[in-house]
Amino acid sequence: MSEDKSFRKAAVGGFNRKDVIDYIEQLLIEQAAEHRQLAEKDAQIAALKNRVAELENSCAARVGEQKATPELFTGEDDPDAVFKKVDSLLKSYLGTEAEEQ
């Protein structure tokens, strides 16, 4: 907020009343502006958290799809078994050429 403020002395009753009131009003204006900025930042944080959650869900779904893909196509969930099936299919498709290379 504002830096230290010194008030003029009043002849009677301590400090100049107008100076004190002006200072308090200025502090209230600054405080309201800071509250608005804080609310904007909170809204941005909430929006970013939602976006992160969406991206995490999307990634999790894609990972789930990738894990399920070999099993869906080959009936196997073991990577070695999948490679053996693919190798077998290639050999049967290409015939003896695959074995020679």
The ranges assigned to domains in the chain are 17-100
pTM above 0.85, yes or no: no
The average pLDDT across 13-36 equals 91
**Six-digit token string for 23:** 């200072």
Report the percent of the chain where pLDDT is more than 90.
32
Q: Give the pLDDT band (50/70/90) at residue 25.
A: very high
Per-residue b or e along 74-83, where b marks 16 or more CB atoms closer than 10 Å to that residue's CB:
beeeeeeebe
The average pLDDT across 2-11 equals 69
